Amino acid sequence: MSDVKIGVIGGSGLYKIEGLEDVEEIKLNTPFGDPSDNFIVGTLEGQRVAFLPRHGRHHAISPTELNSHANIWGMKKLGVKYIIAVNACGSLREDIAPRHIVVPDQLVDRTRSRDLTFYEGGVVVHMGVADPYEPALAEMVYQGVQETGAPVHLGGDFVIIEGPRFSTKAESRIFRSWGCSIIGMTSIPEAFLAREAEIAYATMAHVTDYDVWHEEEGPVSVEAVIANLNANVDIAKQAIRNIVVKLAGEPDWPSHHALANAIISSRIRQDVPADTWEKLGLFIGEYYS
């Protein structure tokens, strides 16, 4: 499993990747419970890739029920250093139309009931997330989508709501007034947990609708979301192949050393409770003596 360096977390509409060779299905038990599904590991463009459908292969897990802790812990256990996350989103800007793709560079947290960190139980970490996505990986994702010919936007503020309901018109207007570009439900805490696990993380967000603010478009609906996701699924799959090729050199980025100056509690192994070490040793082991 140690040769798996690239992880793909598939969002709504992307439940598998064609073209994987030497495929194995891996069931992982984590200290945080069960991941969304088994990990599908295979070779794509000469690279070992781990794929996980965020909502399960039958889309049975809602955004509010996602066990992102188990999903990210599992990716780390497999050896993953880079995660390409695929998300559905609504647009909050006129120039970002349905079926466009956005590679955001910022996150705005409007969730309400999610556990946002791995670190508790005797280990205190203050993680820097000024740039919540790894910029170099985001650039690769952008280039990978560009190569498909699909309309793509680099940069933008991605506001994440609790869900599973869609926004009210008042909420949508507020998010637009803040300058947010797109809106979704699943990137938080996933992106923050990836940083805490020292995994480089970037998002390929597929626009399905104009949320509920657009006067000339109907309010967002599940029917519209599914139709536009299905229209873009082949683009997502080809873009992933393009990105995997670019990661062949295994670049080293700041995300891969994010814990070095973030742990404020004792770094002596015996000061950490055994049950906490069982959960966190995978991440922090190299920093403790």
Tell me the two tokens of residue 213. Answer: 């603010």
Q: Please state at what angle helix 135-146 crosses helix 222-246, rounded to 10 degrees.
A: 110
Residue among 211, 234, 252, 271 flagged as catalytic? 211
Question: Nearest-CA neighbor of 14 among 259, 237, 277, 269?
Answer: 237
Tell me the two tokens of residue 74. Answer: 């599992």
Concerning whether 209 is annotated as a catalytic residue, the answer is: yes
Question: Nearest-CA neighbor of 176 among 94, 87, 276, 283?
Answer: 94
* Beta-carbon-side half-sphere exposure of residue 155 (alpha carbons within 13 Å): 1
CA angle 36, 42, 44 (to 5 degrees): 115
Residue among 37, 105, 109, 209 flagged as catalytic? 209
Concerning whether 211 is annotated as a catalytic residue, the answer is: yes
Give the max Cα distance, the chain.
62
The amino acid sitting at 182 is I
Catalytic residues: 209, 211
